[in-house]
Amino acid sequence: MSAIDTLPPLRDVIARHGLSARKALGQNFLLDLNLTAKIARAAGDLTGSDVLEVGPGPGGLTRGLLAEGARRVVAVEKDARCLPALEEIAAAYPGRLEVVQDDALAVDWAARLTPPVRIVSNLPYNVGTELLVRWLTPAVWPPVWDSLTLMFQREVADRIVAQPGGKAYGRLAVLAQWRAEARIVMSLPPEAFTPPPKVRSAVVHLTALPRPRFEADADTLSRVVAAAFGQRRKMLRAALKGLAPDIEDRLHAAGLSPTDRAEQVPIEGFCALARQMG
């Protein structure tokens, strides 16, 4: 029995089901259930919400989410070896946990959830940024989710909350802060995980804004920032010349200088440019 529920400790679960961590699946597990409950609490009041969890693994965070009162959890896990352990959790919380064995990049998660929806995950590092970008760039806003509470490598978390003018500022900062309020709410050392990764980790909490801060088409803005930061040391006129032959005129029309570098351009500037690209 553990501190937060009547299920066995995670070390026992992992040993019983032979869940040796696989690097290719980004498997660094959280075994301290007090910590996973704390992460669940960082997502806010879960009692009236459905939760999407990507990569539950042996279920440490899943148990935290359920113990903290999530109405329902839909947990998408690619590794079939984890399913028996997750089914034990589902049996302990009847009707509140749906386990989906699939690739989170392929699954239609929204169809399985009823709003309000929160997304809470200790993300596998290999698909973490791709998932975040997808969650931030649906064509229609506000999105299905109200908040994202996500564990990343610390360096990725820093990029999400970065301000213009520094090395960390780039595509993730622009896309995240354009449509959401983003802050780092927890920082974790490698030893918090089994096996420990090489780097520190951090939990980022993003709350969807009712409306984006500035008007822009999500796809166009994504293309513009990808190109601008793809060659971040170049001036904008060079980095963006592949997007339109008259890019200098468009930069001027957006109030930007063709000799600026992407790092100096605030979110408002990228949105103005995206509007000029339409």
Provide the binding-site residues for ligand SAM, judged by CB under 6 A.
25-30, 54-57, 60-61, 76-79, 103-105, 122, 124, 127
Distance of CA 99 to CAs 14, 33, 146, 274, Å? 17, 19, 21, 39
Angle of helix 154-161 relative to helix 128-136, nearest 10 degrees?
Answer: 20
Secondary structure of 163-227 in HEC code, one letter for each residue: CCCCCCCCHHHHHHHHHEEEEEEEEECHHHEECCCCCCEEEEEEEECCCCCCCCCHHHHHHHHHH
Residue with tokens 């822009």: 216
Dihedral-angle region of residue 223 (phi above 0 means left; psi in -120 to 50 means alpha; beta otherwise): alpha
Which of 56/269 has CB closer to ligand SAM?
Answer: 56
Dihedral-angle region of residue 217 (phi above 0 means left; psi in -120 to 50 means alpha; beta otherwise): beta
Q: Is the Cα dihedral 90, 43, 185, 78 positive or negative?
A: positive
Residue 43 in tokens = 């997502």
Which of 85/265 has CB closer to ligand SAM?
Answer: 85
Dihedral-angle region of residue 60 (phi above 0 means left; psi in -120 to 50 means alpha; beta otherwise): alpha
CB of 124 to ligand SAM, least distance (A): 3
Which of 84/166 has CB closer to ligand SAM?
Answer: 84
CB of 21 to ligand SAM, least distance (A): 8
Which of 36/220 has CB closer to ligand SAM?
Answer: 36
Which of 5/181 has CB closer to ligand SAM?
Answer: 5
What are the backbone angles phi and psi of residue 146, rounded to the nearest 5°? -95, -35
CB of 230 to ligand SAM, least distance (A): 24
Which of 30/67 has CB closer to ligand SAM?
Answer: 30
CB of 180 to ligand SAM, least distance (A): 22
CB of 246 to ligand SAM, least distance (A): 40
**Cα distance between residue 160 and residue 174, in whole Å:** 8
Which of 142/197 has CB closer to ligand SAM?
Answer: 197
Residue closest to ligand SAM (Cβ): 55
Nearest-5° angle of CA 118, CA 188, CA 133? 40
CB of 116 to ligand SAM, least distance (A): 22
